[in-house]
Homo-oligomer: A and B are copies of this chain.
Amino acid sequence: MQDMEFTIERGKLWMLQTRNGKRTAKAAIKIAVDMANEGLISKEEAVMRVSTKQVDAMLHPQFDENARKAAKKEGRLFATGVNASPGAAVGQVFFDADTAEKKGKEEGLQVIMVRPFTKPDDVHGMLAAKGILTSEGGATSHAAVVARQFGVPCVVGASAIRIDLEKRQMKVGDVVVKEGDWISLDGATGEVFLGKLDLTVPNLEEQQDLLTLLNWADEIARLQVWANADYPKDARRARSYGAKGIGLCRTEHMFFEPERLPIVQRMILAETIEERKKALDELLPFQRSDFEGLFEAMDGYPVIIRLIDPPLHEFMPDEEKLFEEVITMRVKGETKGLAEKEKLLASIRAMHESNPMMGLRGVRLSIYMPEIVEMQVRAIFEAAANCTLRGVKVKPEVMIPLTGTVKELEWIQPRLERIAKQVMSEKGVNFPYKFGTMIEIPRAAVTAGEIARLAEFFSFGTNDLTQMTFGYSRDDAERNFLIKYVEEGILEKNPFQTLDREGVGRLMRMAVEEGRRTRPELEVGICGEHGGDPESIEFCHLIGQNYVSCSPFRVPVARLAAAQAAIKNR
């Protein structure tokens, strides 16, 4: 679409200049779809004319356009700055990171953090905020880089604002905003308004043009788009957004529900296998009903269920808090209940690990304590059998996490497959199923040819694979050196958001090639966060994956990205 400037002088038309027309995301989509429908451009061209950012914008909260206009009319436009990180945010103003974090995390307020500029020390506050506003800096300032990394709406360099950190207020002219006052900011336009503006959350099903475009995308794409979903409601949303399967269901989330956690803790602290099995027997019906809900929601589509992954201490009470209680009781000379607390503390301490990310979790835990995954596999297959008997078409795929050597699979997979077969024969039903593994340990990528002897599918866990390939603990790195690395250009992008093709990607390519050499029909996907990032999706296309799996909200973006990858790399 073109903006054209022309004049008519003495009956003659003069074209003065022309440039690509600015338009809203909605208009861009409508124009592309209309032109394709009118036969002016091909479907492929229509798909290429809309950007993934535009699709993304259609699915995220935005300020209601009428509200925005009204606010401007009422003189509530407080300032404008650089549109540093897109998204609309409404919240109360706080002027330092510690307060922002406290108000946001502990008190649950909606916080807009305001600073002249930000530094690495401020990141914890920025993460707790709904929006960030600075009076200094540009599109590559610390605030802007961090905000984009974490997807927090952000306006920087709003230089009309005078921030007074002593008085805890900011001013433009005579208009004063004090700490605790409400503002609304739009990181896509750089506007900052006084007070609260109404947000609209777009509904995909009402957006006919977008739906049409995404259907064309699906026809063109070679990669399928699946979704990561732990609960039936997520699975239903994923399906309504066009997901063709569940690429990751994290079973441990089910362990954290309030009525289940005490049973989980009893299971962990069990001193005999019998005690442990008894607790697991109580957990089985919960898990089975979770899985039934998932299978029903995804009727006809594959559902990949990952067996328990985190270290057991994640399910236990906080060690530090308990330690503080014990010390306090000891100093005060209180004895009632002390012995139990001390015993619990000792148990939790015995589970302590110096680097839990690389400790007793995933398949290691399953080999150390097979009873948990035996229960989980029974729950999965009982649920699948029950659904089958009700006429639901199930395709369960059991995923073993954190494999590093094929021998781990040789140890655990046959005993789990025995349970699967046993349940099917108990219930007298038959349905297709698979056993496979995540590729998230560098050694798994390097020995994928061996691993594919047992694994019927690979799913790249690129969060952990990125952590271990770079040797970065994400929690630690994103708080400190990673920000500096992106600022200084040592890393072009945060590798946890956009796949590092040169390092992590090279391992992935190796794994696909060597895995398929062993098992040509190997199903390969990705379930790390990269599965929703367009540039990473293109790479997944290039190395011949079958699908990408991402958060339900990213599914439409991923569908478009998958089609664009196919067109660009024909």
Chain A positions near chain B (C-beta within 8 angstroms): 320, 323-324, 327-328, 331-332, 353-360, 364, 367-368, 402, 404-405, 407-408, 411, 440-443, 446-447, 450, 464, 467-473, 475-477, 480-481, 484-485, 488-491, 500, 502-504, 506-507
Contacts and interface: CB of A to CB of B under 8 A. Distances in A.
A503 B502 CA distance: 19
B354 A356 contact: yes
Contacts of A357: 354-355, 358, 471, 473
Classify the secondary structure of A's interface with B.
Answer: helix
A320 B506 CA distance: 42
Contacts of A464: 471
A476 B312 CA distance: 14
A188 B186 CA distance: 75
18 contacts: A320-B323, A324-B327, A354-B473, A355-B473, A355-B475, A357-B473, A358-B472, A358-B473, A359-B477, A367-B484, A368-B481, A404-B472, A408-B490, A411-B488, A411-B490, A443-B470, A443-B504, A446-B506
A477 B332 CA distance: 38
Contacts of A473: 353-359
A491 B411 CA distance: 11
Contacts of A328: 327, 331
Contacts of A475: 353-355
Nearest to A464: B471
Nearest to A319: B320
How many copies of this chain does one complex carry? Answer: 2
Contact of A481 (B367, B447, B484, B503): B367
Contacts of A468: 358, 442, 468-469, 471
Nearest to A412: B490
A446 B507 contact: yes
Contact of A502 (B441, B447, B467): B447
B480 A360 contact: yes
Contacts of A489: 407
A323 B354 CA distance: 18
Contacts of A408: 490
Contact of A443 (B332, B358, B407, B469): B469
A157 B356 CA distance: 35
Nearest to A442: B442
Contacts of A506: 446-447
A500 B467 CA distance: 21
Contacts of A507: 442, 446
Nearest to A357: B355
Given A354-B473, A364-B481, A407-B490, 16 more contacts: A327-B331, A353-B475, A355-B475, A355-B476, A356-B476, A359-B476, A360-B477, A364-B485, A367-B481, A404-B470, A405-B503, A407-B491, A442-B442, A442-B471, A443-B469, A443-B504
Nearest to A320: B323
Contacts of A323: 320, 323-324
Q: Which of A408, A476, A484 has the most CB of B within 10 A?
A: A476
Contacts of A324: 323, 327
Contact of A442 (B405, B469, B485): B469
A477 B447 CA distance: 21
Nearest to A507: B446
Contacts of A450: 502
Give me the 6 closest cross-chain CB pairs, A-B, nearest first: A355-B473, A443-B503, A358-B473, A359-B476, A441-B471, A442-B442
A405 B476 contact: no
Contacts of A502: 446-447, 450
Contact of A488 (B367, B467, B485, B503): B367
Contacts of A354: 356-357, 473, 475-476
A181 to B, nearest CB: 30
B358 A405 contact: no
